[in-house]
Amino acid sequence: MKSMFPLRMSKYAEFIGNTLNRGNFSPFLLFLLIILVVSIGIAPTLSYAASIDSPRKQMSNGSEPEEVICNPDLTLMIRYSGEAACVTSTTAEKLSEANWGATQKEFPVDSNQITALINYRTIDESRQKDGLAIMDLNPHSETFGDILQDAPVGEGVLMHHPFYNSDRSKIYNTALMGERLYQVNLHDNTIFDVSPIDTGSCVVGEDMIFSKDGEKFYLTCMGSDNILVFDAKTNQLIDEIYANQEENSEAFTKYPHGISADETIDRMIVTQTVSPALDDPQSSVTIIEFSTGKVLSTLELAKNPDTPSAPVEVLFHPQQRLAYVSGMLDGTIWVLVWDEQTESFAPKLIDDGAEREHSWPLDLNIGPKGNLFVSFAVPGVVNEYSLENPEQPELLRTLPAMPGAHHTLFSQDGQYMFVQNNLLNLDGLNSGTISVVDLSSGNLIATIDDTLKQGMMIESIDFIYEESLTKTTLGS
């Protein structure tokens, strides 16, 4: 059944506003209107007052005085003795006149929000439903860290990850429970509708990819060992990719999670991770013929045969015929290089996080300068690798986050990285925060954590690409 909270919100909010403006209301009527709004699950903007870290804290995290970032409408001054301070423009003038220090940079308020769609699970009895929310991630906006809209979806659905279709005109959202897959009708930074999609036999919806022609999409189902194929125009289930390990031990699907494809070589790679109970970890990826869905082979990725790697994510290089894979349980990063003659992949270990006490590598992302960014949930960092030699990435630096470092996003100008810190609310991997890192200095400048006080454990984040979303409403 479709959720209609945002549409109702706009209509009732307009009605209340008109009523108040006309002045023809009674206190009893106003009380009834407020009860009506609350009863249908509407949540207005929730201000959590997120702010950029103080200059002292930024400097303790490694920033030089001139690298300090100030909160909106403040000015960075550097004292002649070397300390940094963020002050109002009036105070900056007075301090300059008093020969206290020099003005370094002004940080005006940015009226442009950087909106993101977040998935959250409830961790508070007062908040009964898991759901979606829209948040402003711009550190220079007056609404930085604010939840602009809260859209509860259902009890125990465990909304997991948003995905855009090939032209970013639609947003889909996987779920570990509930209906496993939903389409989110979102535009003008407002969620209008969250509609379940029939996923047939799917158990535990994980990751998605879309064909380049926009005709199909693929959903990995970790609990049912299959990859489902859908008509991207109608959202109808049209096929299933499945191969039983007992029937063919060299080509099978099991606990599929990460998925990526390169249509130029007609190959899809799907990781074999762990069971939904987080046991029985695997050490292989499945190679599939993209055009037919035929399961061709499995490829083992393990630095030690006695230690399962649990490959979790896979990402094809955008220009090269090779793919990167993160081994969640043994801290490894692999590259699978395509061999034209044999039409197969040759695996190579390219980094072992254990050498730096980095473990639980998760997200793989191509970010600013075309570099590869890999999150490590323990201790909670993101490693940046140069892809100048795509077959042997070079570690450039380790960027700070928090335990559970997982999904990463990058501001359009390449100045900031946003890291969502939580993996399945597991103890020690569930900071539940969003870290904001200044990529020019490589230092942490802000942490969004007040959502925890509202009983929301953030599961994933993605930007809202407003310019490409199809503008439809329930009434259209």
Return d(Cα 316, Cα 52) in angstroms, integer.
Answer: 35
- Read off the pLDDT of residues 161-193 as tens digits, 9 standing for 90 and up: 999 999 999 999 999 998 899 999 998 999 999
Global pTM?
0.87
With H, G, I as helix, E, B as strand and everything else as coil, classify residue 289.
Answer: strand
Q: Residue 244: pLDDT band by 50, 70, 90 thresholds?
A: very high
Q: Residue 49: pLDDT band by 50, 70, 90 thresholds?
A: low
Q: Residue 471: pLDDT band by 50, 70, 90 thresholds?
A: low
* Residue 207 structure tokens: 């990751």
Domains of the chain by residue range: 5-39, 55-107
State yes or no: pLDDT of 258 exceeds 80: yes
DSSP state string for 167-193: TSS-EEEEESSTTSEEEEEEETTEEEE
Q: Residue 42: pLDDT band by 50, 70, 90 thresholds?
A: very low
Mean per-residue pLDDT, 8-34: 40
- Read off the pLDDT of residues 214-234 as tens digits, 9 standing for 90 and up: 999 999 999 999 999 999 999
46 DSSP assignment: B
Return d(Cα 20, Cα 247) in angstroms, integer.
Answer: 70
* Nearest alpha carbon to residue 434 among 385, 382, 357, 373: 382
Return d(Cα 100, Cα 97) in angstroms, integer.
Answer: 8
- Read off the pLDDT of residues 344-375 as tens digits, 9 standing for 90 and up: 999 999 999 999 999 999 999 999 999 999 99
> Positive or negative, the Cα torsion across 424, 430, 435, 441?
negative
- Residue 89's H or E segment, with its range, is helix 89-97
Q: Residue 24: pLDDT band by 50, 70, 90 thresholds?
A: very low
Surface-to-core class of residue 474, CB atoms within 10 Å of its CB (0-12 exposed, 13-18 middle, 19+ buried): middle
- Read off the pLDDT of residues 75-94 as tens digits, 9 standing for 90 and up: 999 998 889 999 999 999 99
The number of angstroms, rounded, from the C-alpha of 322 to the middle of its chain's C-alpha atoms is 24
Is the distance from CB of 345 to CB of 320 less than 8 angstroms?
A: no
Give the pLDDT confidence score for residue 22 in this predicted structure: 41
Give the pLDDT confidence score for residue 48 in this predicted structure: 53
State yes or no: pLDDT of 282 exceeds 60: yes
State yes or no: pLDDT of 474 exceeds 60: no
The neighbouring-strand residues paired with 421 are 405, 433
- Read off the pLDDT of residues 375-386 as tens digits, 9 standing for 90 and up: 999 999 999 999
The average confidence (pLDDT) of the chain is: 89
* Residue 4 structure tokens: 């209609």
Q: What is the Cα Rg of the chain in Å?
A: 24
* Nearest alpha carbon to residue 43 among 113, 120, 140: 120
Give the pLDDT confidence score for residue 34 in this predicted structure: 39
* Nearest alpha carbon to residue 261 among 215, 299, 220, 314: 314
Mean per-residue pLDDT, 390-418: 97
State yes or no: pLDDT of 432 exceeds 80: yes
Return d(Cα 218, Cα 270) in angstroms, integer.
Answer: 11
Return d(Cα 423, Cα 432) in angstroms, integer.
Answer: 9
The number of angstroms, rounded, from the C-alpha of 170 to the middle of its chain's C-alpha atoms is 16
Give the pLDDT confidence score for residue 6 in this predicted structure: 42
* Residue 49 structure tokens: 């007052």
Return d(Cα 222, Cα 259) in angstroms, integer.
Answer: 11
Mean per-residue pLDDT, 25-42: 39
Q: Residue 38: pLDDT band by 50, 70, 90 thresholds?
A: very low
Residue 240 contacts by C-beta under 8 Å, 6 or more apart in sequence?
A: 200, 201, 226, 227, 228, 229
Is the distance from CB of 274 to CB of 310 less than 8 angstroms?
A: yes
* Nearest alpha carbon to residue 197 among 214, 213, 216, 175: 175
With H, G, I as helix, E, B as strand and everything else as coil, classify residue 197.
Answer: coil
* Nearest alpha carbon to residue 345 among 317, 371, 312: 317
Please list the helix, strand and coil fractions of the chain in percent, rounded to the nearest 5, in that order. 15, 45, 45
* Nearest alpha carbon to residue 436 among 461, 413, 457, 409: 409
- Read off the pLDDT of residues 86-144 as tens digits, 9 standing for 90 and up: 999 999 999 999 999 999 999 999 889 999 999 999 998 888 899 999 999 999 999 99
Return d(Cα 266, Cα 456) in angstroms, integer.
Answer: 41
The number of angstroms, rounded, from the C-alpha of 472 to the middle of its chain's C-alpha atoms is 24
Mean per-residue pLDDT, 193-200: 95
DSSP state string for 254-293: -SEEEEEEETTTTEEEEEE---TTS-S---EEEEEETTT-
Residue 13 contacts by C-beta under 8 Å, 6 or more apart in sequence?
A: 37
With H, G, I as helix, E, B as strand and everything else as coil, classify residue 285.
Answer: strand
With H, G, I as helix, E, B as strand and everything else as coil, classify residue 254.
Answer: coil
Give the pLDDT confidence score for residue 226 in this predicted structure: 98
